[in-house]
Amino acid sequence: MENMSALAEKAMASGFNLDLVVHDGLVQAKFMVDKIKRAKTFAIREDDIFLCTYPKSGTHWTWEILNMIVAGKAEYTKHWLNSAYLESRTKEELEKLESPRIIHTHLLPSQMPDAIWTNGCKVIYVHRHPKDCLVSFFSQLSKQIWEDNPLQKTAFSGSWADYLDLFLDGYTLAPCGSYFTYRLQMSTISDTYKGFEVCTVRYEDMKADCAREIKRMAEYLGRPLPEQIYRDISEACSFKNLKNACETMKDQTYHYKWQDGSSGYFRKGECGDWKNFFTVAQSERFDKMYEEKMQSPLL
Ligand code: A3P
């Protein structure tokens, strides 16, 4: 959809319970605009590590793994992921984090502070099958009420079909905009920022062999560990163990709560749950759009 104002109107009419505005050519929740703007100006440390994801790609999982790699042991962090959320925390909150900071963001490279690319920070980019991301995001937005949403309703109250329709038009509430634009920009960082090296990880590869992917990330970070520690981290960060640790052992300050009875950020943690949501026709429509946008078939 070309016209972003029309997309914002359509999203609100289809069930997004948010005041949506157009900022910098993208539809954004009004309460996020200043946060997105200020994130661009934040000071960067040379040893900062950035975890970049489109929402619902396994951010909580990977962030915990990265913290364990840096600590050199399978010990859970004190806080939830959102304690280090670039576009949600204030400058002062991020300043308080100890180096090396492991900061996560859903912003596009162009929305992030420029010094990341010139200082040569470490960037880990995780992506997941788009249909699973979409189902996971729909499940989140239908259950979560953000503290800073003035309307104090779940972010989305439309149907699955409405949600899919909006996604294909380029709207999901992600501050980076369209899933396709995000994937394309992230995969061309080394061209845009000459020679910048990103560590790209697939959610599905983490599911298949997490210890192997942990090792790859540790080596990229220049922090190799004994093989046994990779296995320990993989086990501590399994879906069941990490869910339990987040819900029962962590300080809950930065846990953005969900409606009672919902499974929260740790819902199913599986590959292929999209098959329980998409009809055959919806899936075919999605595949066609994916192929058009990404210039390759969805595997
Ligand atoms: P589902 O909703 O499909 O279950 P994010 O952290 O980016 O918000 O992503 C959340 C998704 O990652 C959820 O997907 C969640 O269940 C899944 N997830 C979280 N921890 C996981 C783990 N240890 N292993 C596999 N999947 C995990």
Give the count of beta carbons closer than 10 Å to the beta carbon of residue 78. 11
Give the per-residue pLDDT at 69. 98
pLDDT at 54 over 60: yes
**Structural domain includes residue 121:** yes
Give the per-residue pLDDT at 36. 97
Give the per-residue pLDDT at 255. 86
Whether residue 15 contacts residue 158, with contact meaning beta carbons closer than 8 Å, is answered with yes
pLDDT classification of 146: cutoffs 50, 70, 90: confident
Helices 130-141 and 280-294, interaxial angle, to 10°? 120
Give the count of beta carbons closer than 10 Å to the beta carbon of residue 242. 19
If one residue of 136, 163, 213 were mutated to test the ligand 1 pocket, choosing by the most ligand atoms within 8 A of its CB, it would be 136
Give the per-residue pLDDT at 199. 98
pLDDT at 227 over 90: yes
> Which atom of ligand 1 is nearest to 238's Cα?
23
Please provide residue 85's backbone torsions phi and psi, each rounded to the nearest 5 degrees.
-100, 105
Active site residue 106: yes
Give the per-residue pLDDT at 1. 53
**Structural domain includes residue 162:** yes
**Structural domain includes residue 182:** yes
**Structural domain includes residue 275:** yes
Whether residue 94 contacts residue 103, with contact meaning beta carbons closer than 8 Å, is answered with yes
Using CA atoms, how far residue 277 sits from 87, 103, 154, 190, 202, in Å, is 30, 32, 20, 35, 22
> Which atom of ligand 1 is nearest to 266's Cα?
16
- Please confirm whether the linkage preceding 175 is cis (ω < 30° from 0): no
**Is the beta carbon of 56 within 6 A of some atom in ligand 1?**
yes
What CATH code is carried by the domain that includes residue 46?
Answer: 3.40.50.300
What distance in angstroms lies between residue 195's CA and the mean position of ligand 1's atoms?
Answer: 31
pLDDT at 95 over 60: yes
pLDDT at 217 over 70: yes
Give the per-residue pLDDT at 2. 57
Whether residue 210 contacts residue 42, with contact meaning beta carbons closer than 8 Å, is answered with no
**Structural domain includes residue 65:** yes
Percent of the chain's residues with pLDDT above 70? 99
- Give the count of domains, the chain: 1
What distance in angstroms lies between residue 118's CA and the mean position of ligand 1's atoms?
Answer: 31
- Angstrom distance (rounded) from CA 24 to CA 271: 34
**Structural domain includes residue 277:** yes
- pLDDT (tens digit per residue) in 160-197: 999 999 999 999 999 999 999 999 999 999 999 998 99
Residue 169: give the domain boundaries. Answer: 2-294
**Structural domain includes residue 299:** no
pLDDT at 261 over 80: no
- pLDDT (tens digit per residue) in 262-283: 788 999 999 999 999 999 999 9
pTM: 0.96
